[in-house]
């Protein structure tokens, strides 16, 4: 199961909408060894394409170096599909099954295929799904959106003096 906070969920959806009709991509980093997606890092789609995404190789190096310095790893790797369902494509599966790709990664797919200009209407919903991809095998997992990780409280219960 992927447990993700509301603000990060919304940020991923907003990024996907913003870059539509091109695919958007990025990671959510978290403390290495944990399942906590805490730090939203939108990346540039170097392919700038409606059918393909890739992290620029220099950006990728900088991203991993930064995560390394902070003892983080990419808990979530996300990208959008802009004309098809939010399900990993053969290309997605190929890369995710690569010899250096960590099978503990949660692959989040967002589809903006039904999204109109941001009208706020019901038909404006995007699909948001999460998958594990191990050796070419895809398994979908539940997504639980929590309000906040902050001490297990929702922000409204935090009292400032």
Binding site for another protein (CB under 8 A): 23, 25, 27, 32, 47, 49-55, 57-58, 60-61, 64-65, 68, 73, 77, 79, 81-84, 88-89, 91-92, 94-104
Nearer to another protein, 23 or 119 (CB): 23
Q: Bridge partners of 40?
A: 28
What tokens does 86 get? 């939010």
Query: Least distance to another protein from the beta carbon of 88, Å?
Result: 7
Shortest CB 71 distance to another protein, Å: 10
The rounded Cα 47 to chain-centroid distance in angstroms is 17
β-pair partners for 76: 28, 106
Q: Tokens in use for 16?
A: 């996907």
Distance in Å, CB of 101 to another protein, minimum: 4
- Is residue 52 a contact partner of residue 79, using CB atoms and an 8 Å limit? no
């Amino acid at each position: 199961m992927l447990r993700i906070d509301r603000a990060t969920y919304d940020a991923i959806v907003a990024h996907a909408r913003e870059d539509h009709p091109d695919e958007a991509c990025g990671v959510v980093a978290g403390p290495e060894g944990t399942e906590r997606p805490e730090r939203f890092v939108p990346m540039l789609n170097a392919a700038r394409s409606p059918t393909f995404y890739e992290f620029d190789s220099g950006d990728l190096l900088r991203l991993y170096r930064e995560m390394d310095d902070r003892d983080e790893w990419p808990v979530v790797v996300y990208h959008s599909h802009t004309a098809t369902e939010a399900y990993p494509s053969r290309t997605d599966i190929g890369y995710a099954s690569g010899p250096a790709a960590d099978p503990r990664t949660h692959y989040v797919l967002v589809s903006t295929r039904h999204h109109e200009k941001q009208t706020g209407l019901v038909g404006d919903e995007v699909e948001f799904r999460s998958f594990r991809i191990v050796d070419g095998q895809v398994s979908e997992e539940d997504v639980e959106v929590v309000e906040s990780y902050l001490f297990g409280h929702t922000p409204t219960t935090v009292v400032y003096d």
